[in-house]
Structure 1
């Protein structure tokens, strides 16, 4: 597969969300969809890392209210990209992205600096 080809568009901060996802979410439809995406990512497809809406967002019932309107998600994305040394639009295997998120944020305990004000914060602990 060409380095620029990708199967999924994943926004940067969703790298953290996916690491902790256990089936909770905004709605049953969103939760099912996110679970399906997480399962597909276990096959290690090529992804395009974004700082914008992605393949997970398309099933979010709140995308026009809490996420987009207040800018929290965009701020989370910028911070993940910065800390992981990833450029918006960069294409890589999902496992490489997940490792960068783990090594640069999760394993050193700085996740809450990025998204501690997220409504799902209490779910994001190993």
Structure 2
């Protein structure tokens, strides 16, 4: 199978430690984190993805907001610059240890965090970076 992710979730997955919007969201993300850790392929999508799925039944899910689409554009640009490749809808990515290490290095240095401006999770993510990614559920801390 393939995991469908919007671009900014390539950043979120780096610091995911089992916290989320709702219990259903967290259970779903835990399953996705396990699949990512096993190296399951990612396909980039526009709009709501597999991580968003539990939130889509809400009256007004934030996953459709223009601000979230802009977050995706910023993340795709920054990650693409970091990796030297296009990150956009339809692109396929293998989440191996080398990729995760590159993404975490870029995230930790701030190179790929433009998309994180104003995010309610930014403080938690910064704390996780400062703790050397201890407890992350996707791929574990870098070597």
Could you say whether these structures have the same fold, taking a TM-score greater than 0.5 normalized by the shorter chain as the test? yes
The equivalent residue for 2:136 is: none
The equivalent residue for 2:19 is: 24
The equivalent residue for 2:119 is: 118
Task: State TM-score, norm by structure 2.
Answer: 0.71
The 1-side partners of 2:121 and 2:114 are apart by 14
> Where do 5+ consecutive residues of structure 1 fail to align?
1-5
Task: State TM-score, norm by structure 1.
Answer: 0.79
Residue-by-residue CA offset, 1:78-125 (whole Å, 9 max, x unaligned): 11111222132101212376455335x404213442212011111112
> Where do 5+ consecutive residues of structure 2 fail to align?
81-86, 130-143
The 1-side partners of 2:114 and 2:52 are apart by 23
The equivalent residue for 1:37 is: 32
The equivalent residue for 2:132 is: none
- Equivalenced residue count is 119
